[in-house]
Each structure stands twice: as C-alpha cells, then as structure tokens.
Homo-oligomer: A and B are copies of this chain.
Amino acid sequence: MTTEKLPNGNIESAKQVGNLVAFHRKEQGLTQADLAGLAQTGTRFISDLENGKGTVQFDKVMLILNLLGLDIRITERS
C-alpha cells in the first residue's frame, strides 16, 4: 500500500478521508473488524472506505468519523 501523507488542511478526495480513517483506526488499536462491529456494518465497507471508494454512503462515513473521535467542519473557502 502506498503510504500517503495525511491531509492537514482541507479534504479534497475520498482517498484522503480513507487515509485519515485508516490512520486513526490503527492509532486506537482497532482492526477493520473492530470498527465494523462498532459501526454495525461490514468489514468490506471499512475496507472500501479506507481505500478511497467515493460512492460510499455519506451518513456511514460520518458515523465512522464520529466513532473515531473526528470532527467534521464545513466553512466558506477563504
């Protein structure tokens, strides 16, 4: 897997979100199966998400970010 830098600024792609999810999941010592269990979803969804699949459902993404203690903020472009 190509190690990509984590986005410090704005999110521009689903792949960046996937990287964030994978990073913070591991940071908390969780496997994909763990996170899938917490989110009441399947491991395939977690895998898809972490690999940057853009067509995943929006609310599921929000749920995962929430479970990992990540906040989403939307602001006007400066």
Contact = CB atoms under 8 A, between A and B. Distances in A.
Tally of this chain's copies: 2
A72 B10 CA distance: 5
A59 B54 contact: yes
Interface residues of A, number: 30
Contacts of A58: 14, 17, 54-58, 61
13 contacts: A10-B72, A10-B73, A11-B62, A11-B74, A13-B62, A14-B58, A58-B58, A65-B74, A70-B76, A70-B77, A71-B74, A71-B75, A73-B73
Given A20-B74, A70-B74, 5 more contacts: A12-B62, A55-B58, A55-B59, A69-B77, A73-B74
